[in-house]
Chains A and B, each alone.
Chain A
């Protein structure tokens, strides 16, 4: 059973540019969550999608956005990149409504903003 797949794994951008990250969840998982991980702030919740609808959103500026497609694949976009956006962006999928709520994480997309 394939795990959560994130692309690209590594990318370098410059300030002001925008970036789109992709996440394919485990087959059958319809809930996708995004997290930003930095050494200073730790793991911070960005947003969660289920059935193409954003269910929850963390405390991030509007430059951070996302969407989910009918096949449960998800993308997140960061516009007008800032140096502080350099981070590991992790996507996780889960079975909504499942008793455990366990998250299954992808390998992450490491973004460096120069």
Chain B
């Protein structure tokens, strides 16, 4: 059974600081995703990582994927308050020609002045 873990689950960081969120998954997978959810809102797609060594950056966020280690990281650079949200990683589990996306538990990020 595919399991997706995130570390840490809760993160409080000061503005201007850097930090990394880790996402581990238990079986081989084709694709990895990062989503953001603001309180009371839906999920917004941030990154789609399709291959080993993939790196994507958007603003202060950078995501990377190591399929051999079954690990993805979401790095936050010089955090600002607007980044406060819950971040989910998610993984495809390809079964025959079908797939479904399994989500990690989420990392609740709070950026404080």
Bound pair: A and B? yes
Task: State the A residues within 8 Å of B (CB).
Answer: 33, 35, 42-43, 45, 48, 55-56, 58, 90, 92, 99-108
B100 contacts the other chain (CB 8 A): yes
Binds A, one of B37-45, B65-73, B74-82: B37-45
Q: Which residues of A contact B87 (CB under 8 A)?
A: none
Q: Which residues of B contact A101 (CB under 8 A)?
A: 30-31, 33, 48, 92, 99, 101
Given known contacts A99-B50, A102-B45, A103-B45, A56 and B100 CB-to-CB distance under 8 angstroms: yes
- How many residues belonging to B are interface residues under a CB distance threshold of 8 Å? 24
The 8 Å CB contact of A33, one of B31, B42, B88, B100, is B100
Given known contacts A101-B48, A102-B33, A102-B48, A55 and B98 CB-to-CB distance under 8 angstroms: yes
B103 contacts the other chain (CB 8 A): yes
Closest CB in chain B relative to A72 CB, distance in Å: 17
Report how far A94 CA is from B106 CA in the complex, Å.
21
Query: Are the C-beta atoms of A108 and B99 separated by less than 8 Å?
Result: no
Report how far A45 CA is from B30 CA in the complex, Å.
18
Q: Which residues of A contact B41 (CB under 8 A)?
A: 107
Query: Are the C-beta atoms of A104 and B100 separated by less than 8 Å?
Result: no
Report how far A58 CA is from B93 CA in the complex, Å.
13
Closest to B94 in A: A101
